[in-house]
Amino acid sequence: MNANTSRQHPAEWDQEAQLLSQTARDLPTGRHQFHKERLMAQIHEQVQRDERTATTTAPPKARRFRLPRPAITLPAMAAALSAVVIAGVVTVGGDGSGVRDSGVATGPALTTDVGTASAKGVPQLLDQISLAAAEGDHPTVKPGQYIYIESVLADTFVKTVDDKSSLASHELHRRQIWESADGVKGWLIDPAVNDGPEGETLSLPDEQGNTPKAHLGSPSYDYLTKLTTDPDKLLAKIYKETKGQGNTPDQQAFATIGDLLAESYPPAELYPALFEAAAKIPGVVVVDDAVDAAGRHGVAVARLDDTSGQREEWIFDKKTHVYLGARNVQVKQIKEEGVLIKPGTVNFTMAIKNRAVVDGMNQTPSQAG
């Protein structure tokens, strides 16, 4: 079964996904968290429907799923697609059915204590995290092996039914992804984006024979092994290659590093460099208590996006400094599509449950043992 969209999440996206990647953070005040994958699936399906009304031609292109990137308010492209998804809002009919039935239950908006943030102690904490990363177990991914990442995640979004909007959430669910070292082969099991419980292939090339090139926004393990481990050069590369993206260059640089920590497998040499680079980004703070999607308390390295009012948090164990997960918390009250999004709203939350190297597609670490 072919994937019906392309990332989170790793080598590459089709034209629509690349456009979204470039524009998703150039957003007005009031943007909120939503699954990039689900949004792209909705857009793609509408395109397919429009195409089918005109002609019955080629099958849909295989697209990559990456981990949902927080903060999406769709640009003009989405409005042009028959208003399937507008300004980050999921529009559903009177029967409550969405453009795409994700298979994940919905519930009330997710909330949390905002927590205390301070710039004091940032360098020391990142030094400790960097040392812990350098000492951690990072086996090399060999040809024929796969990176396996299991996580749990949830999000809050604006839901519109019969012109009435309110905050809702997609409840916590499990996600499993496999990717080959070169990013060409992969598999995803995620009920929020899959059409069936067996999951979908992420393998490239697509039906047109295209194998897009890995980049910072969609890296493979092989790509990451070639990145510089000099923190200054690494940060300069991030700023250069993400120029024009995001609400500000600093926030975009922070978000880019956060993506690399979440659903990728940085080599042992690169891990410390990522944290050392993050320490050089202005506006980075420490949040004394943050909770990941699995309910684990930790300390967070974070940065507030003044445009969206959201604080992106990377959560680490307070003792071991191991990466636990990430979340986006609304810190400044905003209104979107007439809906008030209050401080403490958790726009997106995820927790890494397992990250390992396995010998085969769809193999889990327990099966390998």
Return the exposure string of 342-355: e unless at least 16 CB atoms fall within 10 Å of the residue's CB, then b: ebbbbbbbbbbbeb
Percentage of the chain beyond pLDDT 70 is: 71
Residue 209's pLDDT band (cuts 50, 70, 90): confident
Query: Over the stretch 213-243, which tens digit does the pLDDT of each residue have?
Result: 899 988 999 999 999 999 999 999 999 999 9
Question: Average pLDDT of the chain?
Answer: 78
89 has which bridge partners? 86, 158
- Inform me whether the pLDDT recorded for 97 exceeds 60: no
Q: How far apart are CA 82 and CA 326, in angstroms?
A: 33
- Inform me whether the pLDDT recorded for 33 exceeds 50: no
Contact 19, 245 (CB under 8 A): no
Q: What is the pLDDT of residue 65?
A: 53
Contact 200, 2 (CB under 8 A): yes
Angle, helices 15-23/36-54, rounded to nearest 10 degrees: 140
Identity of residue 72: I
Question: pTM of this prediction?
Answer: 0.77
Distance of CA 109 to the CA centre of its chain: 19
Identity of residue 4: N
Q: How far apart are CA 270 and CA 267, in angstroms?
A: 5
According to DSSP, the β-strands at 89-92 and 146-161 are parallel
Which has the closest alpha carbon to 312: 104, 117, 181? 117
3-class DSSP state of 351: strand
Query: Over the stretch 61-77, which tens digit does the pLDDT of each residue have?
Result: 333 455 555 433 333 22
Q: Across residues 10-28, what is the average pLDDT?
A: 38
